[in-house]
Structure 1
Amino acid sequence: MDPVIIVGAGPVGLTLALALARQEVPAVLLDEGPGKDEPRLARTVVLHEDTTALLERLTGVPLEKAGARWAGWRSMRRRQVTRTITFDDDTNPGPLHIAQHVVTGVLRAALAREPLVKIAVDSRLDTVEQEPSGVTAHTRGARSTWWRGSFLVGCDGPRSTVRKLADIRFPGRTAVERHAVAALRTELPWPGEALLHRMPPWRPSGPFAGEITARPLPEGVWRLDWLLPPGKDLVTPELLVTRIRETLAGWGDGTTPAYELLDTGVHTVHHRLARRWRAGRVFLAGDAAHLLGTLGTQGLDEGLRDADNLAWKLARVWHHGPHDALLDSYQAERRAAVAARLRAADQVLPLLRGGGGLRSLVPGSARGHDALLADGHLGRGALGEPGTCATSPLAPRHLEAEVPVDTPAGAQVTDVRVTAEDGSFVRLRDRLGRGALLVVLIAPGTGVWERKHWATAGVMPRLAAAVAALPHPAELLVAEEYPGAAPHTVLLVRPDGHLVAALAGVRPADLYAAAEAALGGPTRAEASAETSAV
């Protein structure tokens, strides 16, 4: 079968290529540029727990060494600290702040060692043709040629050529927010902590609104964002330098501390959502499918979740044959999740940014608005919580043995220590992304015994037999505990880490039904084989 063609070599395209290769699917990556990215410290991303784990699993590189994991968070209003949070690496890890060019560099280095991925630089797409058996793409430029693929995925950004060639509309709002950005090396009063400061007490110079965020980077570098008021007022270098000095002096003792200005920019936020994310064998992902960057640096999180969701579905179809229901579920799941966040932002932001209204009438409403914004920055609440697959067409129905755990069905599983089939101790999220379903038995006490003592005891033989009979490769894992799960609970987890179902004990019929639903039912080839057997 032909490779998957990926258009666009940003973080989402690079991640998708690696995720497919890890599931033994070849890919051709069409890179319009020269194959490297310009270092820009004013262009950074904030990654949360699930997306950080995804990148580290694919690249084998601990990203914390290249970025800064927040030690804490503080919210301020005028001179008052309204909220502080201390993060803990084990139980409550903070978000990871990292320069985007560092992320792409790590991904490119991993792809350079991957024989299943071919990267074609200086290759600009201009034609896509589809037929029932595959996709043909043409690139122009120095490496003008035709490429043949099984599927094509557009990860080529907001001005996506793939989206335009597929005639997919991209409605939404332009310039929802604008931020002036500066990356500088200095010392701030809260080392390692991120800050949201609303309505600072000093009077701003020039076209600046009353909100500032400060996010740490490695080696004493900070990214500062100033919210700009509506309109198209020009932010000159002189105005920005003045604002930097005022801000640093306001956070200190009234005098501007030493600083080194490293990079500047203006970040404009757009809210857009493609009408369709699939057109036959052509798919959209990342900024080609949606623009969501309300809080400045979180748009990449959703793009990486797109790649994680799509990779295992393309891999199953590539290996096992056509399956429209499974491929259609990509749009159903991911578009719904991003649309929910966009709706939340469109409903909440006018209240948060407004100067009057409820804020002037309801006591304590300002503090509540600050909490909403902070939760959005931290990947929580209406503005920041990752989407779930609870209403997915792949969600199983009417499982008699289903029981609740602290992770709702369809949400990302909690990362716990598990024992693999070879007896080694690993993290649950380390076993994701291999194309296999995960079946996790909660069995307190097993962690202190060698595998040979419990692998053939209790419910394990019956569960192992049930796992072997599933309609897709699955890995059996054992955990001593899982939040909210009783002993002998069995968890079924998708290859992208979403919980399919939690079952009370070993129930082969329910386990099989849940697995079949999570895979969208049998492929055409499997269904045909079953019919022939009958």
Structure 2
Amino acid sequence: MPNENPGVLVVGGSTVGLCTALFLSRAGIPCTVVERHHASPAHPRAMGIGPRTVEILRAAGLADAVDAQCVDMTGSGLQMFAAPTLADADLDEEARRTPPRDDAYAGLTPQSLRGTCPQGRLDRVLIEAAREAGARIEFGTELRDFTQDEEGVTARVADDRGAREIRARYLVAADGARSGVRDRLGIGTSGPGVIGDPLISVLFRADLSALTRGHTFVVCDITTPEAPGGLLPVDGDTEWIYHFRYPRASGTKAADFTPERCAERIRAALGRDTGVTPEVVSILPWQVRGLIADRFRSGRVFLAGDAAHAIPPVGAFGMNTGVADAHNLAWKLAQVLHGTAHEALLDTYEAERLPVARSALEQSTLRLKDPSLHWATGPEGRARRAAAGALNAPVVHLGYRYASAAVLGAEAEPPSTEDVARNLDGAPGSRLPHRWLPGEEGVRSTLDLVDGRFTLLTGPTGTSWLDALDKAASFLGGVPADGHRIDDGAWTAEAGIRDSGALLVRPDGFVAWRAESLDPAPEACLERVLSALLARP
């Protein structure tokens, strides 16, 4: 039973586990992923990639590759609409009477995707990138047991060749809503639990071009009593998902939905007279769940993604919250494993991500009861959300703030529940404000300047900060840090730093500390700040 010694062992090889491995490997941390399934599943479990996830993918150089895997919805404008069957839907008229949706992220984020992206396609991009970065990804390998001590975690895994041990400094559990790691640790959960009736998701192939007539959409809500459900494009052409509920009280079981029965139901949903014969590829029973782990850390083991929080699908907050978990945790593990931060920095993972996950769960649950809270726009939408205690979706995705020991002077409550731009104001704990900047390397976003390092941004008269950063980082043992002067008065005013102030941004793109003007002793100031942020004595 040979031993292996990665810095981090990741349990679970879906999106969140793969992102964790990618970010760690890019930071120079040896990482192994074990996944009990023999391949990445072809049946999509999520479709929507949120703006913060796009930013994270951009930082890893993958946004364009993922965009190429998306359904092209740039010319459609159709989001969610309802019709008795797809054949009954007048998509031309639907497109004419659907007002153009305001781009809530215009000017706030450097990149967007052209449409939805099936999770399996996203994962294939992540697998290739993580392996190229140096991660070891083992499908068909199951975690059997693990123990931890003061120095690390010993995991016993097994594959077709037999059992072996892996010795890692830390373990990240990204093994899903029914996490075996969470159960072994004895970590409880809270939340609504199982919500509503069970569902069936059917992946099928069919040429629906005669029915869609060149239109793409996010979801068509089929209302015919014969086959109510939701129709979603996988490739926008010949691959589709049809999902529907079945009453638990009826005595029907998931096994009763054979491929033949599912195909018959899909024909009814498309329209009986269409002549379309769907080819059922796979059938996935599933259940909406809402839960959050009581703790995200136990010693040297961390929970991420669905293992930490299972979030209902309305709003696309689940997978995206998990990707942000991975991004948050990876830079902290890297700093600790490289010896530039004290182990206490890892306590800030739970302190930051658990409140964000709790908010995402609350917001998705509200939308599950009333989906219009998500889709409604204008004054009516704002009024409905205010009455229900709901946040506008851009605020959920981008407008949250961190409050922990890894943020100095944090303002935990963002100023707006509707206008995400007001929340991205340079305040400590918020995501760095985006602005396009010209330069010798071409036009870049302020977010692009943060390349996995602490980054100091200052105004046109704050160059003393930059010299001080080099000295402070060197004094502290070579903390990876970089600095940039920004000669854009509008941006520095927006970020709250004036011409001589500074923002210190963490490797994950969140503002760690802000100085409105130049400190009389900038080098000593930055030494104190970096020491505090890295939990160094």
- Please tell me whether residue 292 in structure 1 is matched to residue 311 in structure 2: yes
- Please tell me whether residue 191 in structure 1 is matched to residue 215 in structure 2: yes
Aligned equivalents of 1:105 and 1:94: distance in 2?
17
Out of 410, 417, 420, the position equivalent to 2:429 is 410
Aligned equivalents of 2:400 and 2:443: distance in 1?
28
Out of 153, 178, 187, the position equivalent to 1:159 is 178
AA in 1 matched with 2:455: L
Aligned equivalents of 2:382 and 2:105: distance in 1?
27
Equivalent residue, structure 1, for 2:56 = 54
Pairwise CA distance, 1:346: 3.7
Aligned equivalents of 1:22 and 1:475: distance in 2?
17
* More deviation, 291-300/182-191: 182-191
- Please tell me whether residue 475 in structure 1 is matched to residue 482 in structure 2: yes
CA offsets per residue over residues 77-129 of structure 1, 9 Å max, x none?
679867641659964846742122222211221233233x2334433212222
Aligned equivalents of 1:419 and 1:334: distance in 2?
34
TM-score in terms of structure 1 length: 0.75
Q: Is the 8 A contact 1:205 1:242 kept in 2?
A: no
Equivalent residue, structure 2, for 1:269 = 288
Q: Is the 8 A contact 1:75 1:84 kept in 2?
A: no
Q: Is the 8 A contact 2:73 2:216 kept in 1?
A: yes
Q: Is the 8 A contact 1:134 1:151 kept in 2?
A: yes
Aligned equivalents of 1:310 and 1:296: distance in 2?
23
Q: Counting strand residues as a fraction of each chain, which structure ranks higher?
A: 1
Pairwise CA distance, 1:367: 10
**CA 196–515 in structure 1, closer or farther in 2 if over 3 Å, else same:** farther
Aligned equivalents of 1:64 and 1:398: distance in 2?
34
Aligned equivalents of 2:237 and 2:277: distance in 1?
13
Query: Is there any run of 5+ residues in structure 2 with no aligned partner, and where?
Result: 84-88, 374-378, 412-421, 474-478
Q: Is the 8 A contact 1:494 1:518 kept in 2?
A: no
TM-score in terms of structure 2 length: 0.75
Task: Report 1:336-351 matches (<5 A).
Answer: 336-347=355-366, 349-350=368-369
**CA 234–67 in structure 1, closer or farther in 2 if over 3 Å, else same:** same
CA offsets per residue over residues 136-186 of structure 1, 9 Å max, x none?
111134241111111111112223222122221234444314554445542
Q: Is the 8 A contact 1:74 1:193 kept in 2?
A: yes
Pairwise CA distance, 1:243: 5.0
Aligned equivalents of 1:5 and 1:104: distance in 2?
18
Q: 3-state DSSP class of the match of 1:411?
A: coil
Pairwise CA distance, 1:397: 2.5
Out of 20, 45, 48, the position equivalent to 2:47 is 45
- Please tell me whether residue 439 in structure 1 is matched to residue 456 in structure 2: yes
Pairwise CA distance, 1:218: 4.6
Q: Is the 8 A contact 1:122 1:143 kept in 2?
A: no
Equivalent residue, structure 2, for 1:85 = 101
Root mean square deviation, CA, Å: 4.1
Equivalent residue, structure 1, for 2:405 = 393
- Please tell me whether residue 335 in structure 1 is matched to residue 339 in structure 2: no
Q: Is the 8 A contact 2:12 2:173 kept in 1?
A: yes
Task: Report 1:179-258 matches (<5 A).
Answer: 179-183=199-203, 184=205, 185-187=207-209, 188=212, 191-195=215-219, 197=221, 203-206=224-227, 208=228, 212=230, 214-215=232-233, 217-219=235-237, 221-226=239-244, 236=257, 240-241=262-263, 243-249=265-271, 256=274, 258=276
* More deviation, 12-21/124-133: 124-133
Equivalent residue, structure 1, for 2:11 = 7
Aligned equivalents of 2:106 and 2:363: distance in 1?
30
**CA 196–161 in structure 1, closer or farther in 2 if over 3 Å, else same:** same
Aligned equivalents of 2:275 and 2:484: distance in 1?
54
Aligned equivalents of 1:26 and 1:136: distance in 2?
16
**CA 404–224 in structure 1, closer or farther in 2 if over 3 Å, else same:** closer
Pairwise CA distance, 1:132: 1.3
Pairwise CA distance, 1:15: 1.1
Equivalent residue, structure 2, for 1:448 = none
Aligned equivalents of 1:89 and 1:521: distance in 2?
30
